[in-house]
Amino acid sequence: MDKLSSSNYKGKVMDEWITAFYRVQGLDHSFKFHSHKEYEIYFFHSGDCKYLINNRIYELQPGDIILLDGMTLHKPNPGSGSTYIRSMLHFSPTWIRELLGTLGVPNLLDPFNKLNNCLLRTGYDQSGQIVDGMIKGIAASLELIDTDQQKTGKKNELLEAELKLELIQLLLKIYKMSQKELSQVTSKKTEKEAHAESIASWINKHYFEKVSLERIAAELNLSKYYASHVFKEVTGFTVMEYVMGCRLNQVKYLLEMEPNQTLTDVSRSAGFESVAHFSRYFKEKVGKTPSQYRKEKLK
């Protein structure tokens, strides 16, 4: 599971299944283009921030809640002139799926796997405040579980059961909120945001081919200079960083889901020009070789 890159963060007992970070300020790992297997509830409190999800860009407002399936590439791009505050909750659906079935509400996860990474705009209304409080409560429960294990040396199953129920209550609230059609935000885009989205959309369709800034600009009828600068301005990273992020995400998927494919086949199908370049890039970004990553995932 992704962690904050701050050296102050210490792993907790429940990290394999659920993590919660309440009202985080400052830089962390999520400023990089990233993905993860866990579902995520992201709550925006304050600041100036655009959020890129695949090829969509949202201009965030306080009280906004983003529901992420995790595997779709996503990245916040906060402005430098304001204090960026957000809360994040990651959880593994497998951890609570059995309980959802027992309760007869397996569809509580639908907002994450059917709504295509949607944004709920609460305006910090009563619903938004309730979700805020629930995330705060879950973060506190995780601290309690961790403290208890450090004292006793064993996992407290009662505390874990209470934590699961807290998460179920949060998911019930999210599910009810997601049913409101007006909660699905389709905000008006500026010209720059529209162009940046067009560039991202084109890359998502062609990242496995030979991609260049010249080709993108030509096919979208933009100048190379404008395409480069508008994408960087809106998203916070370069066109080629986005291309490589898409390729890396596809490689991770193939390494795990296509165990019989050779590394050569995996690298080529994701758009890498050579296995050597693919291996170096993967090790640099992931911290382990493609073979090591595949072996760990297949366990």
Spatial distance between the Cα atoms of 299 and 14, rounded to a whole number of angstroms: 20
Tokens found for residue 155: 């996992």
Tokens found for residue 241: 């960083």
pTM: 0.73
Cβ neighbours of residue 89 under 8 Å, at least 6 residues apart?
18, 19, 20, 21, 40, 41, 135, 138, 139, 170
- What single string gives the DSSP state of each residue in 258-276? -TTS-HHHHHHHTT-S-HH
Q: Please choose, from the candidates 67, 55, 93, the residue with its C-alpha nearest in 3D space to the C-alpha of residue 249.
A: 55
Q: Could you report the per-residue pLDDT of 222-273, keeping only the tens digit for each? A: 999 999 999 988 888 899 988 998 898 888 888 888 889 999 999 999 999 8
Question: What is the structure's pLDDT at 252?
Answer: 85
Cβ neighbours of residue 244 under 8 Å, at least 6 residues apart?
281
25 within 8 A of 88, measured Cβ to Cβ:
no
Q: Could you report the per-residue pLDDT of 280-293, keeping only the tens digit for each? A: 999 998 899 999 98
Q: Could you report the per-residue pLDDT of 80-97, keeping only the tens digit for each? A: 777 899 999 999 998 998
Please list the residues that pair with 89 across neighbouring strands.
20, 41
Q: Picking from 2-16, 91-105, 188-202, which range would have the lowest pLDDT averaged per residue? A: 2-16
Spatial distance between the Cα atoms of 105 and 175, rounded to a whole number of angstroms: 11
User: Using alpha carbons only, what angle is made at residue 215 by residues 212 and 218, rounded to the nearest 5 degrees?
Assistant: 145
Which of the pair, 81 or 171, is modelled with greater confidence? 171
Residue 87, H or E segment: strand 85-91
